[in-house]
Amino acid sequence: MTGAGQGPSAASPDALPFDPIGDALGRIRTEFLDDHRGEVADYIPQLGEADPAAFGLALVGVAGSVYRVGEADVPFTIQSISKPFVYALALADAGIDDVLGRVGVEPSGEAFNAISLEPGTGRPSNPMINAGAILTTSLVRGTGPDERFERIRDLLSRCAGRVLEVDDAVFRSEHETGDRNRALAYLMRHAGSLTADVEAAVDTYFRQCSVLVTAVDLATMAATLANGGVNPRTGEEVLGQSAAEQVLTVMATCGMYDYSGEWLFRVGLPAKSGVSGGVVAVSPSQFGIGLYSPRLDGRGNSVRGVAASEAISERFTLHLMHQVGRTAPTFERVAPDVGLVVAADDQGTSVSVGDAPRNADVAVLAVQGYLEFASAEQALLALRTRTDDTDSPEALILDLGHVTRCHPVAAALLDAMIEQIESRGVTVVTVDRRERRLLASSAEFTTRSEALARCRGGWRER
Ligand code: DON
């Protein structure tokens, strides 16, 4: 479906014929379609021309699927939603210490255009309010405003997965009516926090606010943040993983201006809104959402965008503080294949153990899923229990073939445990059919039988 009031997601090239996610989005859209509260922003005259009835929702998953309903392909200017992405660029260009020294990360609890500057230094509270955003924009590397803006446009485009254009009429309108932003820039320049030329700084800021996007673009940009900085539709690594995390943190605490606290309480997702009616929200590691509905509440946030985000978060149980039932790694203990298990006699000649007098000669432990701190801790406990007692095996095979991802913390913990186990005379080898070398401390084989053969060889040598 493509127009207002139509059914869900038929316009999506990626949509499935039966699409429960698109259907759920469609129901949420229908639920709030008749909410006509709020006003379209007109303090920048050009923004006042938006269609107040437009209501588009899009969701992009970290696997790259797109779900869209309503006016999800209608272009509008990105406005303040550019701020988190430009913050990421400033972090990459100037480094975290420099950026933090110039712009704080404290929620201001004030309106987007407030004079929220640290007394004495003129340091703005955070990069999501106008003052902080103007300063952040000035920290982006470039020989002049043109190059600085082109680098910003390039980053926004790569996050959206297509080349984004500027709405010149909105840009001119911003430029003509942007005296409050100029005033903020002059105050910061007077205090010494803004060192760039005021006109150049606000010019780039006005241009970044005038970049045209759709709800699908916003959802793709949000999904790039959800996906650790890699655009899931193009596969391009656009931002570093830590920059993505830092940006999401500031979005969570400051993204919705003086509604940020209640937003985090109710919706529980990092988000950012803009005065043209766009909202992005991010479910880390899962997906990004882009919404468009131009009527704003008194704080400058889209009325239907906020309401629909709250419903999406509730229906899909997305609140960041929600305790997720953890899928613990599965441990499979495999009795040794007696045909393969051999022990050495006194002369060092292999003899078949035959019916395996001790079933613990070789233990096979298989782990699956995403190994991070909590699941690695479970694996450590299993390894320790299996090798601590008097019935410890002489060799242990750790099968990592079904591990989907291994966090460096998990790898370090497992490596340390394997070293300890080996210091007690137990041979430890790993199996990974994909040969990823997830752990550094042990010999790795592609199949369990090769690993068993290696354990057998080890016994021969004794
Ligand atoms: O600074 C301004 O006035 C706008 N161009 C951008 C502000 C904005 O989107 C605030 N968001 N709610």
pLDDT at 112 (0 to 100): 84
Which amino acid belongs to residue 138? S
Q: Write the pLDDT tens digit of every residue in 302-325.
A: 999 999 999 999 999 899 998 765
In a shared domain, residues 378 and 247? no
In a shared domain, residues 352 and 426? yes
In a shared domain, residues 104 and 55? yes
Q: Report the separation in Å between the CA atom of 289 and the middle of ligand 1, taken as the mean of its atom positions.
A: 20
User: Is the pLDDT assigned to residue 250 strictly greater than 80?
Assistant: yes
- What the block records as the tokens of 332 is 């499979």
Alpha-carbon separation of residue 366 from 127, 330, 399, 430, 449 (angstroms): 46, 7, 4, 10, 14
Report the domain count for the chain.
Answer: 2
The share of the chain scoring above pLDDT 90, in percent, equals: 66
Alpha-carbon separation of residue 221 from 149, 155, 272, 296, 365 (angstroms): 18, 10, 12, 22, 40
Which of 18-22, 67-71, 243-247, 296-300 is the least confident region? 18-22
pLDDT confidence tier of residue 182, bands split at 50, 70 and 90: very high
Q: Report the separation in Å between the CA atom of 274 and the middle of ligand 1, taken as the mean of its atom positions.
A: 6
Q: Write the pLDDT tens digit of every residue in 131-146.
A: 999 999 999 999 989 9
Residue minimizing CA distance to atom 4 of ligand 1 = 79
pLDDT at 334 (0 to 100): 54
**Contact yes or no for 38/276 (Cβ under 8 A):** no
Q: Report the separation in Å between the CA atom of 449 and the middle of ligand 1, taken as the mean of its atom positions.
A: 63
Q: Is 283 helix (H, G, I), strand (E, B) or coil?
A: strand
C-alpha span between 26 and 11 (Å, rounded): 12
In a shared domain, residues 251 and 355? no
More confident residue, 210 or 11: 210
Q: Write the pLDDT tens digit of every residue in 44-65.
A: 898 999 999 999 999 999 999 9
> Considering only CA atoms, which of 84, 72, 80, 217 is closest in space to residue 159?
217
Phi, psi of 385 (to 5 degrees): -60, -40
In a shared domain, residues 271 and 179? yes
- What the block records as the tokens of 406 is 């291994």
pLDDT at 181 (0 to 100): 96
pLDDT confidence tier of residue 362, bands split at 50, 70 and 90: confident
C-alpha span between 364 and 174 (Å, rounded): 66
Atom of ligand 1 nearest to the CA of 181: 1
Q: Report the separation in Å between the CA atom of 250 and the middle of ligand 1, taken as the mean of its atom positions.
A: 17
Atom of ligand 1 nearest to the CA of 206: 5
C-alpha span between 304 and 316 (Å, rounded): 18
C-alpha span between 427 and 390 (Å, rounded): 16
**Contact yes or no for 428/418 (Cβ under 8 A):** yes
**Contact yes or no for 160/220 (Cβ under 8 A):** yes
Residue 184 lies in a domain: yes
Atom of ligand 1 nearest to the CA of 133: 1
> What number is the average pLDDT over the span 158-172?
97
Alpha-carbon separation of residue 147 from 88, 200, 383 (angstroms): 17, 12, 56
Residue 29 lies in a domain: no
Q: Report the separation in Å between the CA atom of 414 and the middle of ligand 1, taken as the mean of its atom positions.
A: 49
Residue minimizing CA distance to atom 11 of ligand 1 = 274
pLDDT at 338 (0 to 100): 36
User: Is the pLDDT assigned to residue 17 strictly greater than 90?
Assistant: no
Residue minimizing CA distance to atom 1 of ligand 1 = 130
In a shared domain, residues 140 and 255? yes
> What number is the average pLDDT over the span 216-222?
98
Residue 394 lies in a domain: yes
pLDDT at 325 (0 to 100): 59
pLDDT confidence tier of residue 327, bands split at 50, 70 and 90: low
The secondary structure element, H or E, covering residue 399 is: strand 395-406
pLDDT confidence tier of residue 212, bands split at 50, 70 and 90: very high
Beta bridge partners of 59: 67, 289
69 lies in which domain range? 39-315
Give the angle 3-9-11 at the CA atoms, nearest 5°. 65
CATH number, residue 228: 3.40.710.10
- Which residues does 252 contact at the CB level (< 8 Å), separation at least 6? 264, 269, 270, 271, 320
User: Is the pLDDT assigned to residue 172 strictly greater than 60?
Assistant: yes
Atom of ligand 1 nearest to the CA of 296: 12
In a shared domain, residues 112 and 230? yes
C-alpha span between 455 and 395 (Å, rounded): 6
- What the block records as the tokens of 40 is 């379209």
Q: Report the separation in Å between the CA atom of 28 and the middle of ligand 1, taken as the mean of its atom positions.
A: 27
Q: Pick from 130, 182, 203, 205 the residue to mutate for probing ligand 1's pocket: most ligand atoms within 8 Å of its CB.
A: 130
Residue 406 lies in a domain: yes
Q: Write the pLDDT tens digit of every residue in 376-435.
A: 888 888 888 888 777 788 888 899 988 888 999 999 999 999 999 999 889 999 999 999
In a shared domain, residues 290 and 362? no
Residue 32 lies in a domain: no
More confident residue, 200 or 111: 200
In a shared domain, residues 272 and 366? no
| Residue ranges around ligand 1 (CB below 6 Å) | 79-80, 112, 130, 174, 181, 209, 273-275, 300
Q: Pick from 39, 44, 209 the residue to mutate for probing ligand 1's pocket: most ligand atoms within 8 Å of its CB.
A: 209
Residue 305 lies in a domain: yes
Atom of ligand 1 nearest to the CA of 174: 5
Residue 7 lies in a domain: no
CATH number, residue 390: 3.30.750.24
**Contact yes or no for 86/140 (Cβ under 8 A):** yes
pLDDT confidence tier of residue 340, bands split at 50, 70 and 90: very low
Hey, which residues are catalytic here? 80, 83, 205, 257, 275
**Contact yes or no for 221/156 (Cβ under 8 A):** yes
